[in-house]
Amino acid sequence: MQMVFDISQDELPIFLAEVDEHLQTLDETLVELEHRSGDADLLQNAFRAAHTLKGMSGMIGHHRMTNLTHALETAFDGLRKGQYPVTTALIDLCLDAVDGLRALREEVINGSLSDYDPQPLIEAFADFTSTSGHHVQPERRVESSPEPPLPHPREAQSNGKHVLYIQAQIDPRSVASAARAFQLMMALQEVGEISTMQPTLEQIETAQPVQTFQAQVLTTAGQETVLEKLSHISEIQHIEVRADGAGQPVIKSEEPAAAPPQSNSDAVKVEAQSQAVLASQPASRGRSNGSAARGVEMTVRTSVERLDSLMNLVGELITDRNHLFQVRNKLEAQAHNDPLVENLAETVAHISRITDQLQEEVMRIRMLPIGNLLHKFPRMVRDMSQKAGKLVDVVIHGEDTELDRSMIEEINDPLIHLVRNAIDHGIEPPEERRAAGKPERGTVTLNAWHEQGRIILTVSDDGRGIDPAVLRKKVVQKGLMSAEEAAALSDEQAVDLIFLPGFSTAEKVTDISGRGVGMDIVQTNIQRVNGTIHIETAVGRGTTFQIVLPLTLAIVPTLLVRVGPATFAIPLVMVLETLRLSPADIKTIRQKPVTMLRGSVLPLIYLSELYNISENGQQRKRLFAVVIQSGKHRVGLVVDGFMGEEEVVVKSLGKLVGEIPGISSAAILGDGSITLIVDVPALLRLAGIH
């Protein structure tokens, strides 16, 4: 069945983004409310989110969504008034409503009726609140008595300004009358200065119904101009504008049925703007001025496609900048005292600085707080722990740490896998934790921070940890390794076995997961974005997974190396150090080249041999090595020389070239030549190092 909503395709993304934001707020607030039931601010946040969602859905004519949010809002109102306590059953009911609202949100996207029926949940709210002393009734607008007239100023204003008095009646059937009052206030601020207003901004913030709006404005605009400005606001039945002293008021009045509907997206925007301004302008509460309107104008929404296009253009600019450096260096070598060359060098240096600043600004625009991803985990942990019969809390640190939008999308699934595994197989049941002398409630901790141009993410639990002995036994049982090979593994190598495809320590399959289920996918997804994952574990004390990621995927800082006539780019995030080697420094263990690095054996990989690159038959007297690390593997890549560090723009190899083992992508250097970007984990697998 088709559904028609009063919203255009251009306005749809704004509506969906606002809905997602308020649903996320409800998720986070409800989970927190279960532990802090007496927190009035949490209740107010939940009520405000539900109220705004009700207004937004009402504006586009989504009555199924409006009815469900009204039931949710009424339940929150009862909690605010202390009519019943916060219980797990009520939180479950509210979270079910949030899930239902997500299903109803999809109806707006698809334009068709879904299988979801909100009526049973609405009736469940009615049953719950009625047995708790409060029944959910259809929303009623209370007729309020007219407010007393606003006072006249004692003397005329100077500078050509005069006082106008405005009174407006808002349609009592409006589902967002507070937003209409806010819209009236914003319109008046555009034509003058509001000296007094009823209701006040603080009263509008409560989101209570408003029927009569009155204001006194100091302005240079005429009565007709102000009336015209206010007439564009929908759901206003009567507007009266009168001047100070003598003269007739100008009036616009119409029957409710004849009121032309405003673009509903405007109402959606007003409701969203009112919440944003009230949240971001605490100092202006209780008074009206132009700062609120200016606060709204500070934010501009744009499409992801435009950001990607802008990033691509900056990438091309970086390539040309590098080319300019090459040209400048050649000219300086040929005519270093030439004034024109010196001018060119100064211009190139200035363009370089501007390009760096532009790149930094574009990167900032693309950056998002990782909290946008992490904030969904409290709800997820609550649902999973209940399903597993465990008591688990989640702690989040570093949610303000910023990461490129594309990177956030890539790490979403790996983080979900890690959290699921922590709950299902890491955290023990309450009785087992009590027997071990631990608190009944386990803890999963998510942490994020910047470190040396990289992002560090950790997922930790205080559960039973990973036992290397159990892993050795499992790998033999599954026929993946002989008993002798398993016994020869160190504890660290045994723990890394969980990354083998299909390997799991879970005794039984659950609908959540066991540690090891999908861990090979986690590692693959992280390595695909030039990241690494490490494990630290202690039996009986818990496990920590550490993920190291670059800041972005589009522009990669690399170390350029030369191997014969070929050039390779190694992501700096993988580089530990560089070495100079002589033939005497290279030894052989089990027919494989190695060297000693500060008392430790460092395996060596010759890129020339790996990719069959000709060396023109010359015997090399001096070699270089790049020490790289992937996971817990540390090796040296033997190369002929270093060409310096350079930021390169990542380019896909394309279908014609296809996949090259050990190579992730390509880049165009400043001199126009092409370099291959090394995929370090894949390179190690190609070299037989696992």
The confidence score (pLDDT) of residue 286 equals 35
Those residues whose C-beta lies under 8 Å from the C-beta of residue 508, and which sit 6 or more positions away, are 514
Flag whether pLDDT at 48 surpasses 90: no
What CATH number did the domain enclosing 288 receive? Answer: 3.30.70.1110
The three-class DSSP label of residue 621 is: coil
In a domain, 150, yes or no: no
Instruction: For tokens 């890129």, name the residue.
Output: 607
Statement: residue 147 has pLDDT above 60: no
Residue at 147 is within a domain: no
Residues 51, 652: Cα–Cα separation, whole Å: 47
Distance between CA atoms of residues 471 and 330, nearest Å:
59
Q: What is the CATH number of the domain that holds 616?
A: 2.40.50.180
Question: Considering only CA atoms, which of 394, 398, 408, 412 is closest in space to residue 451?
Answer: 398
* Domain containing residue 76: CATH number: 1.20.120.160
What pLDDT does 15 receive? 86
Question: How many whole angstroms from its chain centre is CA 473?
Answer: 41
Task: Identify whether 347 is part of a domain.
Answer: yes
Least confident of 67-76, 291-300, 622-631: 291-300
94-116 confidence digits (pLDDT tens): 999 999 999 999 999 888 888 89
pLDDT at position 507 is 54
- pTM score > 0.85 for this model? no
Residue 306 DSSP label: H
Do 364 and 461 fall into the same domain? no
Interior CA angle at 535 toward 444 and 480, to 5°? 120
Residue with the bigger pLDDT between 186 and 569: it is: 569
Residues 219, 233 within the same domain? yes
From the candidates 34, 73, 402, 410, give the one annotated as an active-site residue: 73
The answer to whether residues 393 and 534 belong to one domain is yes
Helices (H), 232-370: 264-280, 291-297, 304-334, 339-366
Is there a contact between 526 and 538 (Cβ–Cβ < 8 Å)?
A: no
Q: Is 51 one of the catalytic residues?
A: yes
Specify the higher pLDDT residue, 665 or 147: 665
73 belongs to the catalytic site: yes
> CA–CA separation, 417 vs 420, rounded Å?
5
**φ and ψ at 580, to 5 degrees?**
-110, 130
- Is 138 a member of any domain? no
Q: Within 13 A of 479's CA, how many CA atoms are on the CB side?
A: 0
Residue 320 falls inside a structural domain: yes
| Closest residue by Cα to residue 293 from 273, 279, 268, 267 | 273
Give the pLDDT band of residue 17 (cuts 50, 70, 90): confident
The Cα 644–Cα 200 span in angstroms is 63
Percent of the chain surpassing pLDDT 70: 83
Mark whether 465 and 414 lie in a shared domain: yes
User: In this structure, are 169 and 25 located in the same domain?
Assistant: no
What pLDDT score was predicted for residue 283?
A: 35
User: Of 45, 67, 322, 421, which is the active-site residue?
Assistant: 421
pLDDT at residue 30 in the model: 92
For residue range 580-600, what is the model confidence (pLDDT) as tens digits? 988 888 888 888 899 998 888
Contact 165, 216 (CB under 8 A): yes
Give me the CATH number covering residue 439: 3.30.565.10
CA distance 559 to 643: 7
Q: Tell me the C-alpha distance between 377 and 355, whole Å.
A: 38
Which of the residues 22, 51, 375, 425 is marked catalytic?
A: 51
Task: Tell me the backbone φ, ψ of residue 578, rounded to 5 degrees.
Answer: -120, 155
Contact 30/46 with Cβ under 8 angstroms? yes
Q: What is the mean pLDDT of residues 642-663?
A: 79
- 8 Å CB contact between 525 and 410: yes
Q: State yes or no: pLDDT of 438 exceeds 90.
A: yes
In a domain, 653, yes or no: yes
- Among 532, 550, 568, identify where a domain stops: 550
User: For residue 416, what are its two tokens?
Assistant: 């979900």
Whether residue 653 is predicted with pLDDT greater than 80 in this model: the reply is no
Record the tokens describing residue 411, joined without a space.
Answer: 């790490």
Q: What is the CATH number of the domain that holds 350?
A: 1.10.287
Based on the fold, state whether residues 288 and 309 are members of the same structural domain.
no
Per-residue CA distances from 76 to 20, 30, 125, 129, 393 (Å): 19, 10, 11, 10, 24
Q: Which residues, at least 6 apart from 361, have a Cβ–Cβ distance to it below 8 Å? A: none
Give me the pLDDT at residue 525, please. Answer: 84
In this structure, the answer to whether residues 310 and 363 fall within a common structural domain is: yes
**Is residue 602 domain-shared with residue 669, that is, in the same domain?**
yes
Mean pLDDT to the nearest integer, 365-380: 86
Q: Looking at residue 615, what is its pLDDT?
A: 64
Shared domain for 396 and 313, answered yes or no, is no
pLDDT of residue 530: 75
How many domains is the chain built from? 5
The string of pLDDT tens digits covering residues 494-544 is 888 888 876 765 555 454 444 444 788 888 888 778 788 889 999 999 999
Q: Which two three-digit tokens encode residue 38?
A: 């007496």
Q: Is the pLDDT higher at 295 or at 126? A: 126
Assess whether 344 and 442 both reside in one domain: no
Q: What's the whole-number average pLDDT of the chain?
A: 80
Name residue, tokens 């969504």: 65
Q: Is residue 143 part of a domain?
A: no
pLDDT band at 61 (very low <50, low <70, confident <90, very high): confident
Nearest one of 413, 468, 423 to 445, comparing CA atoms: 423
pLDDT band of residue 2 (cuts 50, 70, 90) is confident
Lowest-pLDDT range of 74-78, 193-197, 398-402, 452-456: 452-456
DSSP 380-444: HHHHHHHHHT--EEEEEE-TT-EEEHHHHHHHHHHHHHHHHHIIIIISPPHHHHHHTT--SSEEE
Q: In this model, does residue 49 exceed pLDDT 80? A: yes
CA distance 514 to 363: 38
Higher pLDDT residue, 645 or 652?
A: 645
What pLDDT was estimated at residue 639?
92
> Which segment, 269-283, 294-308, 553-567, 620-634, is predicted with the most confidence on average?
553-567
One domain, residues 412 and 293: no
Determine the Cα–Cα distance for residues 329 and 327; give it in Å rounded to an integer.
6
Indicate whether 428 and 541 sit together in one domain. Answer: yes
Buried b (16+ CB within 10 A) or exposed e, 409-436: ebbeebbbbbbbbbbbbbbbebeebeee
* Residue 197: domain span: 162-297
In a domain, 632, yes or no: yes
Residue 204 phi/psi, 5-degree rounding, is -60, -35
Per-residue pLDDT tens for 226-284? Answer: 888 888 888 888 899 988 755 677 777 765 544 444 444 444 444 444 444 444 333 33
